[in-house]
Structure 1
Amino acid sequence: MAQAREAIASGGRAPAAASLERKFERLGLREPADFVVHLPIRYEDETRIVDIGSVMPGQTVQVEGEVLFSEVQLRPRRQLVAALSDGTGRLYLRWLHFYPNQRRQVETGRVIRVRGEVRQGYSGLEIVHPRVSVAGGPLPDSLTPVYPTTDGLTQPALHRAIARALEQADLSESLPDSMCQAFGLPSFANAIRTLHAPPAGMSVHELLERGHPAWRRIKFDELLAQQLSLALARKRRRMQRAPALTASHAELVQRLRAGLPFTLTHAQERVIGEISADLARDYPMHRLLQGDVGSGKTVVAAFAAAQAIASGHQVAIMAPTEILAEQHFTKLQTWLEPLGVNVAWLTGSLTARQRREAIEAMAAGRVDLVIGTQALIQDKVHFPQLGLVILDEQHRFGVAQRLELSRKGEEAGGEVPQVPHQLNMSATPIPRTLAMTFFADLDVSMIDELPPGRSPVITKLVSDTRRDEVLALVHREVQGGRQAYWVCPLVEESEALQLQTAVDTHAALSEALPDMRVGLMHGRMPATEKQATMDAFRAGEIQLLVATTVIEVGVDVPNACLMIIEHAERFGLAQLHQLRGRVGRGGGQSVCVLMYQGPLSQVARERLRAMYETTDGFEIARRDLEQRGPGEFLGMRQSGQELLRYADLQADAGIVEQARQAAIELMERYPEHVQRHLARWARGRQDLLRS
């Protein structure tokens, strides 16, 4: 590549250049355009020298002065200490690790320039491990950028590469002049050059807080590229073919409605209608079905599946865990098999023979509906007539997994391959700003009504010092004929530790509550054992179920009205909300006890406060987005893809709205600008939007 060739021409330094190139690759820096938008994370002001007498603890400063003394001290540990004075004050310099050349740099009597962060030391103000240079040299005329880097890649190397890129790259405008004027945006070239080399005197605070007009332009461009990519994804989807599943009034659909042991809510009826209309079109549906925990999304999926099956096509439903997949299988089998629908089950826990028989039946077209986990995306799995793909808790799958399942349907086409319709379901509501930026190409359906008889769960915050009170509460509830969950703490460092915690907790509770039937369930149990445990819990044979987060989704036991979440401070907001949704499914009042161990961090305190203050899934999601960013919602944390490098969904909601307007205008009036803008900002990420 260019740098390697340059190294060869300059005397055989190709290995070093290749190594540097690999480090740039780790940061996604390949072409000059990549380096141009690799922007600083902070700046250092090396444009001025300050008086030592004016410095304060916490400041990062640059000073010049004479070394008054320099010595190696042995107590409390071996270290190099020097004192510097410029006549206005004294500043101590300290190195805990040092080399001979550093001792020579600070020999007594030398006049030096020093830069670093000031702190209060034992003898006075000091800088630990300062950067030292010869005094009197010229000062830069711009702030010094500090860039995101990787192991072994120095700031000087990045500075040189970015400086070259700014000379080589095309910095021409990707937006019409009228748009820049309408939104008050500086030109791209001016914004980029300002951020890479801010002039002396510019507010460092404004740059760091990303409130400067140059930063606003960059954030606008990034969000605009996002909106354009989504608009093009929607446009391409409309140009694809999908089977028109028109049997919305078929006998199968009517018999499903008549056979349900409950009445659908108005919200469910509305959503079923929206999905049915999508399925009848000859281009692929790409719809997101949102509904809070317990709102009845599975029955909506059943109607979509029935319409597809009545039209002569197969349906695949993929869930992130075996428990959730089993829950769907049980419900859908109960509703659809009596109507003549062949329902199959495919997970990793099946025996080799069971798995082979299921895969053969699917490939032969003898299965109408298959429900499973990631086992559905194995290479061996084929569908001759896949018309509808349903992803439950879609954000828990990686982007590649979601794409892989939808591509299974592409194998079925004739001359022009067809793409299956896709329904994504989520009990984690998507905050509005996230929906505007990352789900703008999806049609969204909302089940905003809970089934009759569901009452909000009461949430209590209890310190683990009050464990005896919690045990008494469990005893009272079980004595009253009800059941309870006891969720063990999440131990992120080790699945084995989490398992041991569950086993230990089960033993401790069995001893503390000897008159109670206590069960245990965790992710490493064999599937048959997990199934037997859940069946016993549903049947009331187990009164208290000790479990890990394996029960987070898919568990539905109406008589379980009490949940204890131990070490609740270790869980994320979305996970706490999902766990709380396992209770409150019967007619009685349910309680969720968040038992925590102090002292709490600020983030943990905010999470628990949010859970205590609201049961509204949208408010929970909004606060979760503030705390963790969009990766968890999108299922992109596993993919290694950056979502937004510079814009912030909460702080920049106004820019999001402007970018949406601009995207519509560019698509309608300036198609050549669309391609130019995406070439600079999207750079191959568009395929992620297919998922």
Structure 2
Amino acid sequence: MKQGQHKQTDPDPAAHVSAGSLQGYKGLTPALLTKLAKLGISNMQGLLLHMPLRYVDETRITAVRDLRSGEQAQVQGEVVHVEVQYRPRKVLICRLNDQSGQLVLRFLHFYPSQLASLKEGKQIRALGEVRSGFFGWEMVHPQYRVVGDETEVATALTPVYPTTAGLSQAVIRKWIAWALSHADLSDTLPASVSQSLNLPSFAQSLACLHHPAPEADLASLESREHPAWQRLAFEELLAQQLSMRRHYARRKHQGAPALKPSKTLITALLKSLPFALTQAQQKVALEIGRDLEKPYPMQRLLQGDVGSGKTIVAAMAAMQAIEQGWQAAIMAPTEILAEQHYQKMQGWLAPLGIQVAWLAGSQGKKQRREMLAAIADGQAQLVIGTHALFQEQVVFQRLALAIVDEQHRFGVQQRLSLRQKGGQPHQLMMSATPIPRTLSMSYFADLDVSVIDELPPGRTPIVTRLISDARRDEVLERVQDACMQGRQAYWVCPLIEESEALQLQTVTDTYETLQQSFPHLKVGLVHGRMKPAEKQTVMAAFSAGETQLLVATTVIEVGVDVPNASLMVIEHAERMGLSQLHQLRGRVGRGAAKSSCILLYQDGKLSEMARARLKTIYESTDGFVIAQADLAQRGPGEFMGIRQSGVPMLKIADLERDHELLEAARELAERWLETEPVLVDKHLARWLGHAEELVKV
């Protein structure tokens, strides 16, 4: 809006514009395209759907005498005085006269070009917040421009867009206006759908959002509850549903091993266990078993709260593949978790004559060579490892089932790499982070979902305590009492290295302090910077009960299973996310002993967000309640690592606000895929371009 901005070449009004690339259009220089790409804009639809953050009202000129303190206003007048004051600090002062009074424009930071434009006698139009100053009304750092007698006043509210360095609002507005006048804005939805939802057309919605009328309801526009926003949210949700459900349907035309039900191995495994399966475990095991019988690849997400018994269900699925002469693989995100799976599976399956192989980056060359040979010739029936399973030299003879634990920690390419090891194996993904229903309906619409919704009997509820860091001595007494009674405890710290900004105690400092505090106890230390062999030694000692207190970073967040551990202390709990706190808490309460989790926080430094997180984790042990709160606080992209997963992200729709639209989009997608293939293609082309089939594995 300021004088001196670079003037762009006008777009060619005769240019034929498609939904494709913006390359080659007059005025869209390589430098401009690079800046637009930083905003995620690479085609016509990217411009159309680059939505405003807020709006400013430049549709009226307010006389100086009618200004009110604290309100934003636009004033036009003649510059009657300009000066640079140097005390008490350098400031540019400009006095504006509109015949009804004078207004002071104050600039604390300014450039020589501004001094050149703000000459006495110039007509200036300024927009900013009005406040009372020493010389009457003033605006500090207003937007302004030099105008003439014929300069028109805006007829619509002015949108303010997300931008990047070197890309002005004026340039973004111009190119979005160009897109609106040249793109195909015809509806992809039948009029009957718009009418049933009481929503405006696509073209009307874009016009309203990019150029709202002065009398528009600004509150509903900025809260995104306006019908125009709702129309775009519905269309975006529909595109996501269509893309993912189409992928789901296409999977049924791919071939995969049809695995008959296990007659002997699963029965033998269940007989050897010291516990019986819960009804929930039996139910999901049956769902998975039926999927494995089908001649197309299973893609099922198995979710269950921490400690609900997903591992044994995964073992049963592996037995179904192994009994038919195939191989199965289990992939975990960390060596600690992968080794825990290996130890557990070895204990369960070795007595049944099943060879379990272990593959990790820390193995010696000889052991690794032996494991690779056993996998390649089929001797290794079950293979367990970390991302080392992705490597090219890992060749399976007959892989029929890929099991991915904590699936959201792996990117889409990594999961795809494991699947490609065996052509089209069945895939079972497991997550101990319960997924709220709206997230499951949206981002996991291409998967079948099973839920273990009960904990094994005999588990005692975990008591959660919120304790200020000032009462640390009391916490130390609790730890000592628990260990002296024959129990074990965790002490979890969030950072390894000293950080002046956060001033958090490091795990190594805490370890040394606790060693001094408890000279009669064996204290262990584990963190992500240690060599794998060191970590394994420390964890083995803790699992065997040789170490009473384990000081750790969040590397123990998933998979660690020590039934004798009944107390966990989490340092600086206010710094951690809800799901992470819940996962960590789930490391205790895995035996029959009464268990506690103490959340240590720094009093006086709690943000509102941190206070809300601690309140939620204190009040609930239900993973789904916690997950819902976590989703509301962090949004879906951060909640499950979806930004890295290859799933189309939602830019406009909000799963919390638009859950009713999601239900409607889901129903319409199911109908359309069967009856309206042409409309499906047109709608996907608009919203997802040529990348609408983002394969999610």
Q: TM-score range, shorter-chain basis?
A: over 0.9
Q: Answer yes or no: is 1:215 the counterpart of 2:221.
A: no
Partner residue in 1 for 2:4: none
Aligned to 1:551: 556
| Paired residues of 2:57 and 2:158 also in contact (CA < 8 A) | yes
Partner of 2:118: 106
Aligned counterparts, 1:438-453, within 5 A: 438-453=443-458
Residue 625 (structure 1) shift: 0.2
> Is 1:47 equivalent to 2:52 in the alignment?
no
1:70 CA drift (Å): 2.8
* 1:361 aligned residue (348, 368, 374): 374
Counterparts of 1:177-576 in structure 2, within 5 Å, are 177-246=191-260, 248-410=261-423, 419-490=424-495, 501-576=506-581
In the other structure, the counterpart of 1:415 is none
The one-letter code matched in structure 1 to 2:376 is A
Partner of residue 685 from structure 2, selected from 675, 679, 687: 679
Report if aligned partners of 2:22, 2:42 keep a CA contact under 8 Å in 1: no
Q: Over residues 163-198 of structure 1, what are the superposed CA-to-partner deviations in whole Å (9 max), with x where a residue is unaligned?
A: 232233221211122212222221112212222222
More displaced stretch, 552-561 vs 151-160: 151-160
1:599 counterpart = 2:605: yes
Say whether the 8 Å CA contact 2:357–2:371 is kept in structure 1.
yes
The residue identity in structure 2 corresponding to 1:346 is L
Q: Is the 8 A contact 1:3 1:18 kept in 2?
A: no
The letter for the 2-side match of 1:78 is K
Inter-partner Cα distance in structure 1 for 2:505 and 2:466: 25
The whole-number CA distance in structure 1 between the counterparts of 2:483 and 2:137 is 64
Structure 1 position 357, deviation (Å): 2.8
Output the CA distance in 1 between the equivalents of 2:645 and 2:591: 38
Taking structure 1 as the reference length, what is the TM-score of the superposition?
Answer: 0.93
Correspondence for 2:663? 657
- Asked whether the equivalents of residues 459 and 592 of structure 1 are also in contact (C-alpha less than 8 Å), the reply is yes
Shift of 1:89: 5.8
Distance of 2:387 and 2:501 partners within structure 1: 23
Larger displacement relative to structure 2 (315-324 or 36-45): 36-45
Give the TM-score normalised by structure 2.
0.92
Show CA shifts across 1:90-146 (max 9, x none). 543222221233224334554421012445667665433222223542112112222
In structure 2, the partner of 1:668 is 674
* Range moving further from structure 2, 564-573 or 124-133: 124-133
Residue identity opposite 1:180 in structure 2: S
Does the CA contact (< 8 Å) of 1:68 and 1:108 recur in 2? yes
Take 1:54 and 1:314, find their aligned partners in 2: how far apart are those partners? 80
Q: Look up the match of 1:162.
A: 176
Return the alpha-carbon distance in structure 1 between the equivalents of residues 133 and 332 of structure 2: 57
C-alpha distance after superposition, 1:525-560 (max 9, x if no partner): 111111111111122221111100011011111111
1:642-653 mapped onto 2 (5 Å cutoff):
643-653=649-659
Q: CA deviation at 1:669?
A: 2.6
Separation in 1, partners of 2:75, 2:536: 70
Distance 1:119 1:428 in 2: 50
Report which stretch shifted further, 655-664 or 150-159. 150-159
Match of 1:24 among 20, 24, 36: 36
Amino acid at match of 2:572: H
Q: Is the 8 A contact 1:105 1:132 kept in 2?
A: no
Is the alpha carbon distance of 1:506 and 1:88 closer, same or farther for their aligned partners in structure 2, counting shifts above 3 Å? farther
Shift of 1:342: 1.3
**Secondary structure in 2 matching 1:623:** helix
Find the counterpart in structure 1 of residue 11 from structure 2. none
Q: Does 1:64 align with 2:68?
A: no
Is the contact made by 2:62 and 2:73 (CA closer than 8 Å) also made in structure 1?
yes
Question: Counterparts of 2:227 and 2:131 in 1: how far apart (Å)?
Answer: 33
Moved more, 622-631 or 668-677: 668-677
What runs of 5+ residues in structure 1 fail to find an aligned partner? 8-12, 411-418
- Give the C-alpha shift of residue 88 in structure 1: 5.5
Q: How well do the aligned residues superpose, as a CA RMSD in angstroms?
A: 2.4
Which residue of structure 1 aligns with residue 5 of structure 2? none
Structure 1 residues 118-197: aligned runs within 5 Å: 118=130, 126-135=138-147, 136=149, 137-197=151-211
In the alignment, does 2:131 pair up with 1:93? no
- For 1:548, give the aligned amino acid: T
Q: Deviations over 1:191-247 (max 9, x none)?
A: 12222222232122221111221111100000001111121011111111111011x
Structure 1 residues 497 and 345, CA, compared in 2 at 3 Å: closer, same or farther? Answer: farther
Distance 1:124 1:618, change over 3 A: farther
| Residues 36 and 162 in structure 1, CA contact (< 8 A), matched pair in contact too | yes
Cα separation, partners in 2 of 1:201 and 1:34, compared to 1, 3 Å:
same
Give 1:309's aligned amino acid: I
Instruction: Give the number of equivalent residue pairs.
Output: 675
Deviation at residue 474 of structure 1 after TM alignment: 0.9
Residues 116 and 640 of structure 1, relative CA distance in 2, 3 Å threshold: farther
Q: State the secondary structure of the residue aligned to 1:683.
A: helix
Q: Distance in 2 between matches of 1:240 and 1:122?
A: 76
Question: How far does the alpha carbon of each residue in 1:536-593 deviate from its partner, in whole angstroms, 9 at most, with x for none?
Answer: 1122221111100011011111111110000001100000000000000111111100
Distance 1:121 1:475 in 2: 63
TM-aligned CA deviation for residue 640 of structure 1: 8.4
- Relative distance call for 1:26 and 1:601 in structure 2 (3 A) is same
8 Å contact kept, 1:267–1:449: yes
Query: Would the alpha carbon gap of residues 514 and 506 (structure 1) be closer, same or farther in structure 2, given more than 3 Å must change?
Result: same
For residues 541 and 134 of structure 2, the distance between their equivalents in structure 1, rounded to whole angstroms, comes to 66
CA distance in 2, matches of 1:146, 1:545: 52
Q: Which residue in 1 is equivalent to 2:16? A: none
Q: Which amino acid aligns with 1:545?
A: L
Equivalent residue, structure 2, for 1:413: none
Q: 1:513/1:210 Cα in 2 relative to 1: closer, same or farther (>3 Å)? A: same
Q: How far off its partner does 1:317 sit?
A: 0.9
Are 2:92 and 2:107, in contact at CA under 8 Å, matched by a contact in 1? Answer: yes
Provide closer, same or farther for how the CA distance between residues 124 and 338 of structure 1 changes in structure 2, counting only shifts above 3 A.
Answer: farther
Q: Which is worse superposed, 490-499 or 357-366?
A: 490-499
2:262–2:323 contact (8 Å) kept in structure 1: no
Residues 67 and 97 (structure 1), Cα distance of their counterparts in 2 relative to 1, 3 Å cut: same
1:643-684 deviation line (CA, Å, top 9, x unaligned):
110011111111111111221222233221111100111224
Q: Which amino acid aligns with 1:349?
A: S
Aligned equivalents of 2:73, 2:413: Cα separation in 1:
47
Distance of 1:644 and 1:619 partners within structure 2 = 23
Give how far 1:426 is off.
Answer: 0.7
Query: What SS class does the counterpart of residue 656 from structure 1 fall into?
Result: helix
- Partners of 1:32 and 1:168 within 8 A in 2: no
Structure 1, 661-670 or 561-570: larger mean CA deviation: 661-670
Amino acid at match of 1:29: I
Q: Are residues 670 and 342 of structure 1, via their aligned partners in 2, closer, same or farther at CA, if it must alter by over 3 Å?
A: same
Q: Does 1:615 align with 2:628?
A: no
Give the letter for the 1:81 counterpart. Answer: I
